[in-house]
Amino acid sequence: MGIVDETEYSKMSVRLEISHTAEIDVWIKERHYLKSVPCGARVRMIFKNREQRIIGAMMWCRPVARKIDQWKIVELARMYFVDDTPCFIESHCLSLARKCIRKHLPEIKGLIAYSSTGQHHEGTIYEADGWFQLGTSVVKSASWETREGRTDRDLSDKIRWVRSP
């Protein structure tokens, strides 16, 4: 792991570290409402406070939608922050993540994320970081159970958010 960026925010030092292992996947899986993580993360980001405690994490992957450019676009597949963090920390860390992607992955030209209407996620954190809404992704199939062991997770419509890095 290497420190990518460190900033002072709301009286709390936030440090972004890149993880080159799947250890953070377990941390996200235990806490995120979906209780799962996709395989094949392109970038794993860990956010720590002044005391070196993990306060959040992000997984950036190739887009799930096959028609979206798999090499120039990354999708925020999972993001989780603990509840006892300052207000707006998610938007601030999205900004740090974009800066990191711009610097270390210059081939990436676009970012995409989805907020779940079923979880009442309205996308406020994306709006606060300058993302814009690009429609709603309507779930077309009744089930994602196409592979053994896979169960339905969240079949609600998703709001699609996009932004440049």
Would you state the CATH architecture of domain 2-163?
Answer: 3-Layer(aba) Sandwich (3.40)
Residue 105 has a pLDDT of: 95
Q: What does the pLDDT average to over 73-96?
A: 91
Average pLDDT over residues 4-14: 59
pLDDT digits (tens, 9 = 90+) for 85-103: 888 899 999 999 999 999 9
pLDDT category of residue 66 using cuts at 50, 70 and 90: confident
pLDDT tens-digit series, residues 127-155: 999 999 887 765 555 554 455 555 546 56
Greater confidence (3 vs 158) lies with 158
Q: Strand 110-116 and strand 73-81: pairing?
A: parallel
* pLDDT bucket at 33, cuts 50 / 70 / 90: confident
| Alpha-carbon span 104 to 107, nearest angstrom | 9
Residue pLDDT, tens place only, 37-55: 888 789 999 999 989 999 9
Q: Six-digit token pair at 33?
A: 């409402």
Q: How far apart are CA 44 and CA 58, in angstroms?
A: 6
- What pLDDT sits at residue 94? 94
Q: Is the per-residue pLDDT at 19 higher than 70?
A: yes
